[in-house]
Amino acid sequence: MLKFKSLATALTLACSVSLASAWETLPTEAPAPAENPTTSEKVELGQMLYHDPRLSSTGTVSCASCHNTMLGGEDNRANSMGVNGQTGGRSAPTVWNSAFNKVQFWDGRAASLEAQAAGPVTNAIEMGMKSWDDVVARLKSIDGYQVAFEKAFGKDAISKDNATKAIAAYERTLITPNSPYDKYVEGDKAALTLQQVRGMEKMSDLGCTGCHSGAAFNGAGMFQKFPMIANGYFEAQYHFKKDKGVAEVSKNPADENLWKVPTLRNIALTAPYFHNGSVKTLDQAVAIMGQVQLGKDLSKADIADIVAFLNALSGEFPKQKMPVLPGTPGTTFNN
């Protein structure tokens, strides 16, 4: 189990982030852990597993169902839909640039991409498999996976550990560099419009980058309370406090409404917003953040400038060729 920071520690860290580090460009490669070095064979296998709905109990839901790599890396739903039409209580985070998160999930309960990949497969609402033993048995029944796992890991390699390592290796290739913002920071001063530059400056002046810092604008694993400032009007509309965030896992009252700081990369493509997907538009999300996090009633001009800058954080998506999944000629798996 991940050890969570207390609310006080998290907020102290939030206030101590240096704004000088805010304007960083996104790396084009993600570091891999020593126990799971990235190889082309792992990435190829991971891409297959990521897009294969046979990892779900009904054969209808894959990782890509909720984290769509053909668009913003999530599903543009308020609450993602799993097996048998079930929906959870949270909005799917984007998979793009998730390699630069120090922890995964909205509540940070997974310490790595490998740990995150293991969770949804056996979640009753998401992919619904009864156990990873059942997943492994299914994969072993598919000849093509026997070959792909052997290429990536050696003989008799089909296991939960290797499956999650392969998915994580693939996800570490999902990076979107060279946004207009990145080009601007690297010296191309024509890459941003004057309005976007104003928005960039306002992000810093208002303190937005105190939390949304670093190359991925995600605070490098920081947690923050949301909402910070009580607002009955917004709460009645959006129910932000209904989900207790980190406290749902830690069971520590001090962690109530504490959340991992999400990336702002490609945020223009990932509506609806916030952990429960309750806010439909980016301009409304910015206005809400101004009030409940910063205690500021932002003007329409300020909001427009910030939204313009946030649009400049949409990067270049790597070209991908969808995998051909291993077949089961003449038969199918048992539900």
3-state class percentages of the chain: helix first, strand second, coil last, to nearest 5: 40, 5, 55
Distance CA 309, CA 286 (A): 12
32 domain-assigned: no
Q: Do 180 and 167 share a domain, yes or no? A: no
Q: What is the mean pLDDT of residues 123-149?
A: 97
Q: What is the pLDDT of residue 163?
A: 98
Residue 221: the pLDDT is 76
- Within a domain: residue 323? no
Answer yes or no: are the C-beta atoms of 196 and 1 closer than 8 Å. Answer: no
79 near 90, Cβ under 8 Å? yes
At which of 171, 189, 221 does a domain end? 171
- The dihedral region occupied by 234, where left means phi > 0, alpha psi between -120 and 50, and beta the remainder, is alpha
In this structure, what token pair is assigned to residue 64? 């890509």
pLDDT digits (tens, 9 = 90+) for 71-121: 999 999 999 999 999 999 999 999 999 999 999 999 999 999 999 999 999
Assigned domain for 203 exists: yes
Q: Is the pLDDT of residue 1 over 60?
A: no
Q: Does the residue 128 lie in any domain?
A: yes
pLDDT in tens, 232-288: 999 999 999 999 999 999 999 999 999 999 999 999 999 999 999 999 999 999 999
Which domain-ending residue is among 148, 171, 194? Answer: 171
Domain count, the chain: 2
Out of 171, 195, 228, a domain closes at 171
Return the DSSP state at 81: B
333 in a domain, yes or no?
A: no
Catalytically annotated residue among 114, 126, 150, 256:
126
Confidence band, pLDDT 50/70/90 cuts, at residue 16: very low
Give the count of beta carbons closer than 10 Å to the beta carbon of residue 33: 13
260 membership: H or E segment, kind and range: strand 258-260
- CA separation (Å) from 168 to 33, 224, 292? 10, 26, 35
Tell me if 155 is assigned to some domain.
Answer: yes
DSSP string, 235-285: HHHH-TTSS-BTHHHH--GGGTTEEEPPP-TTGGGS-SBTTTT-B--HHHH
Strand, coil or helix: what is 110? Answer: strand
Q: What is the DSSP letter of 279?
A: B
Q: Is 126 known to be catalytic?
A: yes
Q: Verify that 137 and 204 share a domain, yes or no.
A: no
pLDDT tens figures, 311-329:
999 999 999 889 999 999 9
Domain that holds residue 78: 40-171
Q: Which residues contact 77 (CB under 8 A, 6 or more apart)?
A: 87, 91, 92, 272, 277
Same domain, residue pair 152 and 54: yes
Query: Per-residue pLDDT averaged across 147-175, rounded?
Result: 98
Per DSSP (E only), the strands in 93-188 are: none
pLDDT at 5 exceeding the cut of 70: no
Q: CA 235, CA 110: separation in Å to the nearest integer?
A: 28
Domain match, 18 and 47 both:
no
Q: Does a structural domain hold residue 93?
A: yes
Indicate whether 226 and 155 sit together in one domain: no
53 and 19 belong to one structural domain: no
Helical packing angle, 143-153 and 132-140, nearest 10°: 100
Tell whether 112 and 202 lie within a shared domain: no
Would 191 be classed as within a structural domain? yes
Shared domain for 142 and 198, answered yes or no, is: no
Q: Is the same domain home to 215 and 155?
A: no
Same domain, 159 and 181: no
Q: State the CATH number of the domain containing residue 205.
A: 1.10.760.10
Flag whether pLDDT at 292 surpasses 60: yes
Whole-number Å distance between alpha carbons of 78 and 263:
17
In whole angstroms, what is the distance from residue 250 CA to residue 62 CA? Answer: 28
Looking at the chain, the whole-number percentage of residues with pLDDT higher than 70 is 93
Q: Are residues 49 and 21 in the same domain?
A: no
Q: Output the six-digit token pair for 61.
A: 């839901």
3-state secondary structure of 162: helix
The confidence score (pLDDT) of residue 332 equals 81
Predicted confidence at residue 22, as pLDDT, reads 58
Round to whole Å and give the CA distance between 335 and 217. 42
pTM of the model: 0.92
20 pLDDT more than 60: no
Residue 146 shares a structural domain with residue 120 = yes
